[in-house]
Amino acid sequence: MTASAHSFSAHGSDQHPVVMVPHVNIHNFCDNQQTGEVLQQAAMDRRMGHAHVSIQLGGLAAAIQVYQHQPTPNVLVVETHAGREQLLAELGKLAEVCQPTTKVIIIGHVNDVILYRELMRQGISEYIVAPVSALHYIESIASLYKDPKSDPLGRIFAFVGSKGGVGSSTIAHNIAYRLSGKHSVETVITDLDLAFGTAGLNFNQDANGGMIEALGSPDRVDSTLIDRLLTKLGGKLSLLGGPCQVDREFAIEAHSMEIVLNALRRSVPCIVVDVPNVWAPWVRYTLINADEVIITATPELASLRNTKNIVDLLKQARPNDHLPRIILNQVGVPKRPEVSAADFAKAVGITPELVIPYDPMVFGTAQSNGQMLFEVGPKSKSAEQLDVLADILSGNNKTAPKSGKFNLNEIFQKLPSLRKK
């Protein structure tokens, strides 16, 4: 499982997941307005929600002045345009006022390996070559608190329908099946529709209610409990779902959902979350904090409206994440007026990733038999389209860009052993 997790995390659809920054104080001293604006954007990111961040101009000189009169924070980020000799001299002054427990990150404008090595030798936690991106800044801080012996985090793919009956669950289950089969990735389907979930039916399995136990006792959730609660679906695919009963009420807290999903990320490399078509704080949390969001819609007005509402929310709440991926499903229903894919894309602002034709025979047969589309209609247009999406989410359809330029940041990322933890 560990080897599979490393492979999938390292070559995921866009980048490996960035862990949440813990409850720490972060003080930033920028040398120019542009960097300050980037760090301000980063401070508003979902992964920085637990941290306390302050940003001011003045760079390294201002930091030295400020900390002559007050203690340094958990993390100190300073930007400088100084060359090697000047920077090392100024860092000597900073060391005189900096507490030993403070982790220092330098944002510099000198692309110099010799300088980097000297900074690491002197105890600097990280050196970032400007210009810095919001996500790189967040990752640099998060990595300071990551256990180097821990396995890479798994990726969370949240599938949600724009309204009921659009086929989001079926698509989510088929993608999970494909990721675990074709791409040989340990995958867990998390069916969050506790009363009416269909994951068990689609895989011809009885519901076991493992998700209820996990959400009911979040403080007990760890990898051991997760393994016990999972229902094996065959190969590298497992299910964590609800009891699919209506004789009790289910109250889900966003905090409990956070704990369970984080535990899953530490246990398996791929988590496909089947999000029901309801709206609640825990649903909002799940969508905002997933690594990827896939919205399934049908070409009709209500579906268009709801898709745009979800997209607008996610664009605002996830400015540094990949845009939601949209699947337009059940296209071409006889005698039904439809919104064209082009008009749908224009209204929402995102071109659909897939346009899946109406195919009641393949979908109906799969659901009736408790099978996947890839089993009953492997040559169908629907299966071919979903195979493309599985390739995209796994990252196997992409090749790393090559560049002849010397880039210090790229070297650092490829040589994590050089980083000082």
Claim to verify: residue 162 and residue 134 sit in the same structural domain: no
Residues 343 and 305 in one domain: yes
Neighbours of 127 (CB within 10 A): 25
Residue 2 domain-assigned (yes or no): no
- 189: β partners: 239, 272
- Same domain, yes or no, for 161 and 140? no
Final residue of a structural domain among 105, 126, 145:
145
Would you place residue 340 in the very low, low, confident or very high pLDDT band (cuts 50, 70, 90)?
A: very high
Compute the Cα dihedral for 208, 209, 210, 211 and give only its sign. Answer: positive
Q: Are residues 114 and 232 located together in one domain of the fold?
A: no
Rounded to 10 degrees, what is the CA torsion of 300, 306, 309, 313?
-130
Report whether 74 contacts 103 (CB < 8 A): yes
- The residue-averaged pLDDT of 272-294 equals 95
- Classify the C-alpha dihedral 394-397-399-400 as positive or negative: negative
Task: Give pLDDT, residue 1.
Answer: 41
Do 65 and 173 lie in a common domain? no
Task: Taking the CA atoms of 311, 36, 47 and 391 in sequence, report the sign of the dihedral they define.
Answer: positive
As a whole number, mean pLDDT of residues 228-253 equals 88
Q: Are 54 and 27 in contact (CB under 8 A)?
A: yes
Same domain, 127 and 257: no
**In terms of Cα–Cα distance, which of 204, 200, 275, 257 is closest to 230?**
200
pLDDT digits (tens, 9 = 90+) for 38-48: 999 999 999 99
Domain count, the chain: 2
pLDDT of residue 307: 98
What's the predicted TM-score (pTM) here? 0.83
Q: Which residues of 306-335 are buried (b: 16+ CB within 10 A; e: fewer)?
A: bbbebbeebeeebebbeebbbbbbbbeeee
So what's the pLDDT on residue 2? 40
For 182-221, letters b (16+ CB in 10 Å) and e give ebebbbbbbbbbbeebbbbbbbebebbbbbbbbbeebeeb
Residue 414 lies in a domain: no
- Widest distance between CA atoms in the chain: 77
Secondary structure letter of residue 326 according to DSSP: E
- What does the mean pLDDT of the chain come to? 88
| Beta carbons of 142 and 18 less than 8 angstroms apart | yes
Domain membership of residue 204 as a residue range: 155-394
35 and 168 co-located in one domain: no
Taking the C-alpha atoms of residue 10 and residue 152, their distance in angstroms, rounded to an integer, is 8
Q: What is the CATH number of the domain that holds 28?
A: 3.40.50.2300
* Rounded CA separation 336/172 (Å): 25
Contact 294, 158 (CB under 8 A): yes
pLDDT of residue 16: 61
> Per-residue pLDDT tens for 58-95?
999 999 999 998 999 999 999 999 988 999 999 999 99
Give the C-alpha distances (Å, rounded to integers) separating 83 from 31, 86, 115, 277.
Answer: 14, 6, 9, 56
The CATH number of the domain holding residue 244 is 3.40.50.300
Q: Which amino acid is at 361?
A: M
The rounded percent of the chain whose pLDDT value lies above 90 is: 70
Is 411 domain-assigned?
no
Q: Domain ends where: 102, 119, 145?
A: 145
Whether residues 203 and 120 share a domain: the answer is no
CA atoms within 13 Å, Cβ hemisphere of 410: 8
Phi, psi of 234 (to 5 degrees): 115, 145
Query: Are residues 259 and 304 located together in one domain of the fold?
Result: yes
Q: Is residue 1, in this structure, part of any structural domain at all?
A: no
114 Cβ neighbours under 8 A, 6+ residues apart: 84
What is the pLDDT at residue 18? Answer: 73
In a domain? residue 409: no
**Same domain for 355 and 331:** yes
Mean pLDDT value of segment 99-110:
94
Chain-centroid distance of CA 420 in Å reads: 25
Sign of CA dihedral 76, 81, 84, 89: negative
Asked if pLDDT for residue 398 goes beyond 70, the answer is no
Segment 111-128 shows an average pLDDT of: 92
DSSP at 354: E
In a domain, 15, yes or no: no
- Stretch 6-14: mean pLDDT: 43
Cβ atoms within 10 A of the Cβ of 134, count?
Answer: 20
Residue 399 domain flag = no
Asked, for residue 401, whether it belongs to a domain, the answer is: no
Contact 47, 18 (CB under 8 A): yes
- Which of 110, 145, 180 terminates a domain? The answer is 145
Structure tokens belonging to residue 236: 């590298």
Do 196 and 94 lie in one domain? The reply is no
**167 in the same domain as 117:** no
What is the per-residue pLDDT across 159-185, written as a single tens digit (0 to 9) for each?
Answer: 999 999 999 999 999 999 999 999 999
Whole-angstrom Cα distance, residue 312 to residue 317? 9
